[in-house]
Amino acid sequence: MVDYCYNIWLARFPGLNKDGGWHNGDSYFTVNTRTLIEVPYYFGKLTGFDYFSDPWYEGNIMYTMFQQPPFSKSGGNGSSHQNVGRPNSIRIGYLDALARLTGNTYAADFVRRTLKVEPDYMKKALLAKPGDLAWFRLQCNKPLPEGEGLTALPPGYVFPETGLASFLTNWDRVGSNAMWSFRSSPYGSTSHALANQNAFNTFFGGKPLFYSSGHHIEFTDAHSMYCHRGTRGHNTILVNGMGQRIGTEGYGWIPRYYVSDKIGYVVGDASNAYGKVISPLWLKRGELSDVHYTPENGWDENKLKTFRRHIVNLGKTGYIFIYDELEATEPVNWNYLLHTTANPMTVNEEKAYVHIQATNREEHRTLTFSLPEP
């Protein structure tokens, strides 16, 4: 049994890619904590090999921090993401373990900042099936490393194999941090991932501004499929009101990106994301849950030829510019989606532009879009 479990783990983990991202999103990421920490730690004791030396773990530390900075809302990807209002105790315990095992001082600083505010925060994970690392802490006596902290990190990080990116302005003070996240993923919208290719979310002070909507009742309930997993719940594009395929067939990718202190750039390509749902798995799930992938509910023949979304990040100013490259096989209506979940947005038409403003509940900060009229 030990031999079987060891080879299963070795074949499947630590990750299916090299960049360290987790395509299923932030809510379901923390169900894997014990598998990612205690299992390789135990196998390491048996074999003498350091499984945490795999570069995936260093990338995954960046994913864990950049997709959800200290005391902040999650990046907004994966089903049930809306429930993750701040890094939970399992997530902090995970960073604490990896900081000790890999010597990563950024993760150590993340943990220290959290525990300075709430010293017993990690105890909340006690007895949690996926994230109680009590056994590991009894075995591992390595201290938290000292060194460079979060303020030494770049303003953005891109996970091209997973199809995620996020940029922010202030690691030091969450109250004045402006952040945006972006997804265009080769994994498509299967498992707990969403049909949100080329979608973005924006934040200020750790709270959402323009942010994905909808909620998750069960895996394939009607609201979840039409308005949460489905494209209409996200800040991306519909074509004649039609969204992206459910399944691995509805995929995007990030062809190019650039990160520096003065300017950042990401382009996502969702040209292959749209059309009818054809996945046998999701067709069967729809049938069992009385979910219908019809034009009335947002799926039809694909009329899209090109959808590339370019985002330019101007350093730490909090300004971003979004340019969409759109082409169809015939004349279509492009539906530009924006959602707010904290407060209603305001929309004003002024001459040749439409100004759309979002505010969040706590800080009452704003983010404004100016869209040229067609």
Using omega within 30 degrees of 0 as the cis cutoff, is the peptide bond preceding 14 cis?
yes
Distance, in Å, from the CA atom of 255 to the CA atom of 44, rounded to the nearest integer, reads 37
Q: What are phi and psi of 217, to 5 degrees?
A: -90, -55
pLDDT of residue 366: 55
pLDDT of residue 11: 86
Tokens of 228: 């949460």
pLDDT of residue 21: 94
Question: What DSSP string describes 290-317?
Answer: T---SGGGT--S--EEEEEEEEEE-TTS
CA angle, 274 as apex, 235 and 217 as ends, to 5°? 60
pLDDT of residue 362: 55
Q: Is 93 helix (H, G, I), strand (E, B) or coil?
A: helix
The helix (run of H) or strand (run of E) holding residue 257 is strand 253-259
Neighbours of 32 (CB within 10 A): 19
Distance, in Å, from the CA atom of 16 to the CA atom of 24, rounded to the nearest integer, reads 12
Exposure class string for 34-47: b at 16+ Cβ within 10 A, else e: bebbbbbbbbeeee
Question: What DSSP string describes 43-63?
Answer: HHHHH---GGGSHHHHHHHHH
**216: amino acid identity, one letter:** H
The number of angstroms, rounded, from the C-alpha of 10 to the middle of its chain's C-alpha atoms is: 26
Tokens 């798995």 — which residue?
Answer: 281
The tens digit of pLDDT for each residue in 109-161 reads: 999 999 999 999 999 988 888 888 999 999 999 999 999 999 999 999 999 99
Nearest to 84 by CA among 35, 150, 25: 25
pLDDT of residue 369: 62
Distance, in Å, from the CA atom of 176 to the CA atom of 272, rounded to the nearest integer, reads 37
Q: Is 269 helix (H, G, I), strand (E, B) or coil?
A: strand
Q: Is 89 helix (H, G, I), strand (E, B) or coil?
A: helix
Task: Supply the Cα-derived Rg of the chain in whole angstroms.
Answer: 21
Q: What is the largest CA-CA distance in the chain?
A: 71
pLDDT of residue 28: 87
**8 A C-beta contact, residue 312 and residue 265:** yes
Question: What DSSP string describes 61-83?
Answer: HHHHHHSS-TT----S-STTGGG
Provide block-wise average pLDDT over 10 residues at a time, the chain (374 residues): 88 82 89 91 93 94 97 91 91 97 98 96 86 91 96 97 97 94 96 95 94 88 92 97 97 98 97 97 95 96 97 95 97 96 90 88 58 60
Tokens 């479990």 — which residue?
Answer: 5
Neighbours of 50 (CB within 10 A): 12
Helix axes 55-66, 89-102, angle to 10 degrees: 140
Question: What DSSP string describes 145-186?
Answer: P-S--GGGS-SEEEETTTTEEEEES-SS-GGG-EEEEEE--T
Q: Which residues contact 141 (CB under 8 A, 6 or more apart)?
A: none
Q: Which residues contact 3 (CB under 8 A, 6 or more apart)?
A: none
**169: amino acid identity, one letter:** T
Residues constituting the chain: 374
Domains of the chain in sequence order: 1-151 (1.50.10.100), 154-374 (2.70.98.70)
